[in-house]
Amino acid sequence: MSEEEVKFLPFQEAARLVAAIQEEEDIHRKDKRILTVYNHDNRELCWFDFEELQEAVGHVAKDQQKEAIQDYILSHIPDWALDI
């Protein structure tokens, strides 16, 4: 059985779709943080594990970390988010 490849929205389209990225506690794992992505109707589009994001973004200056994580998220919004 093969998994379908996830397709991501273009950055600009994702930026128009996303209204907020909210840091929250993972309800299934204590002391873990996730970043939940919401659209303009306040609907949850997807979420990202904060530790995995930090690894994916790599080492960046502390004052640039928020922007780097936001850019990574906007580059990785799945195309199925348009259907929500």
- Strand-pairing partners, residue 33, are 25
For residue 5, is it within any domain? no
- Asked if residue 12 is part of any domain, the answer here is no
Average pLDDT over residues 44-73: 95
Say if residue 2's pLDDT is above 50. no
Per cent of the chain over pLDDT 70 is 96
Q: Note the pTM of the prediction, 2 decimals.
A: 0.89
With cut-offs at 50, 70 and 90, classify the pLDDT of residue 3.
Answer: low
Residue 55 lies in a domain: yes
Residue 26's domain spans which residues?
Answer: 18-83
Strand order in the sheet with 18-25: 18-25, 33-39, 44-49
Q: Please provide the DSSP assignment of 11-67 as one string.
A: HHHHHHHEEEEEEEE-TTSTT-EEEEEEETTS-EEEEEEHHHHHHHH-S--GGGHHH
Query: Residues 4-18: pLDDT tens digits?
Result: 789 999 999 999 999
Is 46:62 a contact under the CB 8 Å cutoff? no
Average pLDDT, the chain: 93
Counting every residue written for the chain, the total comes to: 84
